[in-house]
């Protein structure tokens, strides 16, 4: 690779650490930069550096299917960055729940954006009749 390509790899790694890389790999500004107009830095912004979590905190878990898989939402830390982690877990032979490789981990600062997107998905699913609304609508 050329120096330019290594520079792009380094930049992408920094964006991944901050939780600012989009699905397509395109560059997007982190929440704190959008709100405060700060430039890029190799260190997480003060808003992203939080108190240490001794271990992951399970916020919610529900069964995904009848094969013994669950969806677990937890708060955890990786390399000093607080994350929200949404991941499927399966029931291992010894009866413990083990994480799958597939899941989503994003910087905790992006949690409001994720919540807004999930609310929009619920509204759209109700509009399309895929699920019932809270008021007992059609579907």
Give the residue numbers spanning the domain of 14.
1-44
| Domain assignment of residue 52, yes or no | no
Residue 135 forms part of a structural domain: no
Section 50-65 average pLDDT: 87
Is there a domain that residue 118 lies in?
A: no
34, part of any domain = yes
Q: Is residue 16 in a domain?
A: yes
Spatial neighbors of 61 by CB under 8 A, at least 6 apart, are: 70, 71, 72, 73, 89
* DSSP 8-state class, residue 128: T
What digits encode the pLDDT tens for the residues 106-136? 999 999 999 999 999 999 999 999 999 876 5
Alpha carbons within 13 A on the beta-carbon side of 64: 16
Contacts of 117 (CB under 8 A, 6+ apart): none
Give the pLDDT confidence of 69-84 residue by residue, as tens digits: 999 999 999 888 999 9
Domains held by the chain: number: 1
Could you give the C-alpha distances from 139 to 58, 107, 119, in angstroms and in order? 31, 35, 18
- Three-state DSSP at 62 gives strand
Would you say residue 4 has pLDDT above 50?
A: no
């Amino acid at each position: 690779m050329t120096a330019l390509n290594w520079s792009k790899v380094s930049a992408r790694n920094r964006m991944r650490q901050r939780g600012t890389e989009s699905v397509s790999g395109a560059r997007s500004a982190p929440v704190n930069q959008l709100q405060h107009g700060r430039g890029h830095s190799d260190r997480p912004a003060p808003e992203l550096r939080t108190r240490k979590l001794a271990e992951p905190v399970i916020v919610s878990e529900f069964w995904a299917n009848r094969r013994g898989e669950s969806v677990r939402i937890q708060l955890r830390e990786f390399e000093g960055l607080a994350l929200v982690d949404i991941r499927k877990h399966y029931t291992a032979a010894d009866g413990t729940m083990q994480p799958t490789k597939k899941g989503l981990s994003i910087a905790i600062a992006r949690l409001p954006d994720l919540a807004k997107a999930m609310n929009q998905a619920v509204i759209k699913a109700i509009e399309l009749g895929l699920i019932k609304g809270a008021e007992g609508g059609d579907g």
